[in-house]
Amino acid sequence: MTEPRGPVDSSRVPRFAGPATFARLPRLDEVGRADVAVLGVPFDSGVSYRPGARFGPAAVREASRLLRPYNPGLDVSPFAVAQVADAGDVACNPFDIGEAVETVERAAADLMAPGTRLVVVGGDHTIALPLLRAAARLHGPVALLHFDAHLDTWDTYFGAEYTHGTPFRRAVEEGLLDTEALSHVGTRGPLYGKQDLDDDRRMGFGVVTSADVMRRGVDEVTAALRDRIGDRPLYVSVDIDVLDPAHAPGTGTPEAGGLTSRELLEILRGLAGCRLVGGDVVEVAPAYDHAEITSVAASHVAYDLVSLLALGAAGDPPRERT
């Protein structure tokens, strides 16, 4: 078996030089096939407030230059146990949301067809719907772990069905999700009305608020999430606004009282051994990002998702961290 081709050696090429790929990994066209691919989707036409997430993939790639090849939180060298590559960006129509959604679905399905697992960097949360369509085509209805300040199960905005606040209602309606294993984590802030929570509950979602994480702690929350997920194929979607604005100012719809970067990363690492089939990190808007705080956080989220998928691709036996 050919050894995976890893990142550029930082002892030979400084981190501020070399390729502008995620973690300075090879491009997909340079390795032919990858176990795990990082894909950018620079699309933000579905936002309801501050635009700018179309520049998220480039900002996250730039911040990822400082990532190193061994992940001590998961005790894995992801680029050594699996071939990981950067698949570039999907060229989406910024003026037609419907066409963009179809383009993302086709691109994701094509990349996933040979068995490649995707970590997608957005872009706004609209893109979760086509990514779930591609995942469900391969795995059937998937469990969903959704990190976000917001529910994203609203019906329409200004009559539009496809926006960054509606992807998971559409996914439930389309039968893409296993409604016995759906969880929001980190939700907080004002809603339009109590009906929002009632509708969300009817769709099958469980809710772990940011206050729940603070009061119950990471380990208890993670154990409960794992129980809900079980052995189902799992998709993880991370809106970076799940983090408090102190940890992620560069996002479109910030809400006070969010998770810390440490809490988010520790919950993700607690998913080791789950049947993760794909994931995304979205809503990074670098125009509002002070000193690249948000981009750095998002790069580490993507790195942990890559590490979890690499463990799965390498056939790592299911295990829980102690």
The pLDDT confidence band at residue 321, using thresholds 50, 70 and 90, is very low
How many CA atoms, within 13 angstroms, populate the side-chain half-sphere of residue 78?
27
Predicted TM-score (pTM) of the model is 0.96
Is position 5 within any domain? no
Is position 145 within any domain? yes
What's the mean per-residue pLDDT of the chain? 96
Spatial distance between the Cα atoms of 275 and 231, rounded to a whole number of angstroms: 6
Quickly list DSSP for 106-125: HHHHHHHTTT-EEEEEES-G
Average pLDDT estimate for 229-238: 98
Is position 14 within any domain? no
pLDDT in tens, 142-171: 999 999 999 999 999 999 999 999 999 999
Residue 38 identity: V
Least confidently predicted of 1-15, 38-52, 79-93, 152-166 = 1-15
Is position 318 within any domain? no
Which residues, in sequence order, are bridge partners of residue 157? 160
152 marked as part of a ligand binding site: yes
Per-residue model confidence (pLDDT) at position 2: 83
Contact 282, 308 (CB under 8 A): no
Is position 319 within any domain? no
239 marked as part of a ligand binding site: yes
Q: How far is CA 264 from CA 220, 258, 302, in A?
A: 14, 10, 12
Domain that holds residue 87: 22-313
Instruction: Judge whether residue 322 has pLDDT over 90.
Output: no
Per-residue model confidence (pLDDT) at position 320: 38
Is position 259 within any domain? yes
The label of the residue with tokens 């989707």 reads 41
pLDDT in tens, 101-111: 999 999 999 99
Contact 46, 125 (CB under 8 A): yes
Per-residue model confidence (pLDDT) at position 1: 59
Per-residue model confidence (pLDDT) at position 317: 41
Per-residue model confidence (pLDDT) at position 314: 78
Specify the number of domains making up the chain.
1
Instruction: Judge whether residue 319 has pLDDT over 70.
Output: no
Quickly list DSSP for 10-68: TTTS-TTSS--SGGGPPBHHHHS--SEEEEEE---TT-SS---GGGHHHHHHHHGGG--
The burial of 157, by beta-carbon neighbours within 10 Å (0-12 exposed, 13-18 middle, 19 or more buried), is given as middle
Per-residue model confidence (pLDDT) at position 98: 98
The pLDDT confidence band at residue 54, using thresholds 50, 70 and 90, is very high
Write the CB contacts of 107 (distance below 8 Å, at least 6 apart in sequence): 39, 90
Longest dimension (CA), the chain: 57
DSSP letter at 94 equals T
Is position 225 within any domain? yes
**Sign of the dihedral through C-alpha 104, 108, 109, 110:** positive
Instruction: Judge whether residue 55 has pLDDT over 60.
Output: yes
The label of the residue with tokens 């090879």 reads 26
Q: How far is CA 12 from CA 3, 81, 124, in A?
A: 20, 22, 36
Contact 255, 189 (CB under 8 A): yes
Instruction: Judge whether residue 297 has pLDDT over 50.
Output: yes
Average pLDDT estimate for 69-95: 98
Least confidently predicted of 14-18, 210-214, 298-302 = 14-18
* Beta strand spans in the chain (E): 36-41, 84-89, 117-122, 142-147, 177-187, 205-209, 233-239, 275-282
pLDDT in tens, 111-134: 999 999 999 999 999 999 999 999
150 marked as part of a ligand binding site: yes
Rounded to 10 degrees, the C-alpha dihedral 153/155/156/159 comes to 170
Query: What CATH number did the domain enclosing 302 receive?
Result: 3.40.800.10
Residue 269 corresponds to which tokens in the numbers above?
Answer: 């690492």
Is position 274 within any domain? yes
Average pLDDT estimate for 210-223: 98
Per-residue model confidence (pLDDT) at position 258: 98
* Percent of the chain at pLDDT exceeding 90: 96
